[in-house]
Structure 1
């Protein structure tokens, strides 16, 4: 079916107090696994291509984006394409022609005033192109190998009053909030501040997004959705599933040289993880 819009999926989820799963993809195997897992679960899904993934692909957006679009067009469930953690304005401006319906513009590393100014400009441009835009306020941490901030450090959590002003001042369509999750966690030991999440949900007129969800236990994910999270981003969990399955296959088959043999095992492991996570979020796991 044709690509759907991230905004439509997230808005529908927010209206029903549910969440859409958004998975970061790096290879064609990631793309195929996410779609296969979503089809198996009978649920819509968002494919996310991050700026770091683009850098990995020699700085070229179109090869992976076009593969994702082609795969989505053959899917039996709604699939949206989202450009994630964009810091480069040059990359941002490639989004519409590459098939993306949405972007996450990431200026959270900047001081608050600079984040607001940069995000406002990005939102104005994105809306002029028909793009739905997400931003981040508070430092979720863990990205690019950086350690997470101490829970009590300034900026380690999203302040509801500041978030209300930020959304009003930038015009963004959704906000990624810092409530205790951390990017790139390989253990599921993150502790979410559900009280803060409840206050953020009450304060903000836009859907909330949870980054760093791979490190969040299942019961905390369920509670986060009940608390107002409408989009759940997952990346590391897929990479762990793929790497673990390939590592085990090659250990059992040291003679293997055909990459299709081990990539298919990795792809299936990711598809199973996608189905599992969607089941957790929907309460059907």
Structure 2
């Protein structure tokens, strides 16, 4: 199947949310404030096995997905984007599931510009380490560049902890949460297509114990005119993810959960057969473990029990 654009997948998720049944009272939102089960999951690709597992998991769940390659993953591949992008795009095109290719957490202007022509329909430009004014200026420039080339741009406002070895941050830590009024001004000033917000999740969590600030999610959804993105979703329990999507989160990013499944399966195989030297022997169960994880997240975000 040809690559689908991220913008199309997100728009379809928003449209599905608009036609979904009204939210239950337990979700703490009204029918006109909620966003239903219209989520789309974006999974991080590090190796070819990751890409294959994401495609297989999407086929198994019968749902679309986004394959995203981060700047850190590009660094792992020697700073060269073309090979991992081409391999990931080839896997996506060979799949029966609707899949898009996204470049994630890009801080380098050089890497941003490399997305053009490599099959990426979207980029998350990350200027969140800068102060507000510098973030706005850098992001607006990235948006202008992307829109001139038909590339959908996501950005981040607030501080989602856990990146590059940083400690996780709580939803209520001072200066961490995304302020709704500031988010509205930020979207207006930058022209971004989607906004990643800080509501209590954290990158690189290996246990699923994060508690989200659902009141803030609702306030952001009511205020912000573009789709909201939840980073660090690997550490968020299923029930919290369902509630977040019901309240208005649209794009749900998952990375560490795949690595946990991959490494756990490979470690178990090698512990049982320490003389194994053929990587196919342990990569096959590792890939299958990731496939199951992908399918499970897709079903959760799709509102399945």
Q: TM-score, normalised by structure 2?
A: 0.92
- Counterpart in the other structure of 1:131: 151
Q: What secondary structure sits across from 1:250 in the alignment?
A: helix
Pick aligned residue for 1:54 from 74, 91, 95? 74
Looking at structure 1, the residues matched to 215 and 274 of structure 2 have their Cα atoms a distance apart, in angstroms, of: 50
- Counterpart in the other structure of 1:11: 11
Q: Per-residue deviation at 1:72?
A: 1.0
Looking at structure 1, the residues matched to 148 and 2 of structure 2 have their Cα atoms a distance apart, in angstroms, of: 22
Looking at structure 1, the residues matched to 232 and 130 of structure 2 have their Cα atoms a distance apart, in angstroms, of: 19
Do the aligned partners of 1:14 and 1:229 also contact (CA within 8 Å) in 2?
Answer: no
Deviations 1:201-251 (A, max 9, x none): 000110000000000000000000001111100000000000000000000
Q: Per-residue deviation at 1:101?
A: 0.1
Pick aligned residue for 1:95 from 106, 115, 123? 115
- Counterpart in the other structure of 1:199: 219
Q: Per-residue deviation at 1:149?
A: 3.6
- Counterpart in the other structure of 1:183: 203
Looking at structure 2, the residues matched to 48 and 127 of structure 1 have their Cα atoms a distance apart, in angstroms, of: 19
- Counterpart in the other structure of 2:268: 248
Runs in 1 of length 4+ with deviation above 2 angstroms? 148-155
Q: Per-residue deviation at 1:190?
A: 0.4
Seen in structure 2, the aligned counterparts of structure 1 residues 215 and 150 have a Cα distance that, compared at 3 Å, is closer
Looking at structure 1, the residues matched to 149 and 112 of structure 2 have their Cα atoms a distance apart, in angstroms, of: 11
Unaligned runs of at least 5 residues, structure 1: none
Deviations 1:168-190 (A, max 9, x none): 00000000010000000011110
Do the aligned partners of 2:70 and 2:106 also contact (CA within 8 Å) in 1?
Answer: yes
- Counterpart in the other structure of 1:209: 229
Q: What secondary structure sits across from 2:129 in the alignment?
A: coil
- Counterpart in the other structure of 2:27: none
- After the TM superposition, which residues 145-184 of structure 1 pair with which residues of structure 2 at under 5 Å, given as runs? 145-184=165-204
C-alpha RMSD over aligned residues:
0.9
Q: Per-residue deviation at 1:16?
A: 2.0
Per mean C-alpha deviation after superposition, the further-off stretch among 235-244 and 151-160 is 151-160
Unaligned runs of at least 5 residues, structure 2: 18-37
Q: Per-residue deviation at 1:150?
A: 4.8
Q: What secondary structure sits across from 1:16 in the alignment?
A: helix
Looking at structure 2, the residues matched to 40 and 143 of structure 1 have their Cα atoms a distance apart, in angstroms, of: 30
Do the aligned partners of 2:169 and 2:202 also contact (CA within 8 Å) in 1?
Answer: no
- After the TM superposition, which residues 44-83 of structure 1 pair with which residues of structure 2 at under 5 Å, given as runs? 44-83=64-103
Do the aligned partners of 2:204 and 2:234 also contact (CA within 8 Å) in 1?
Answer: yes
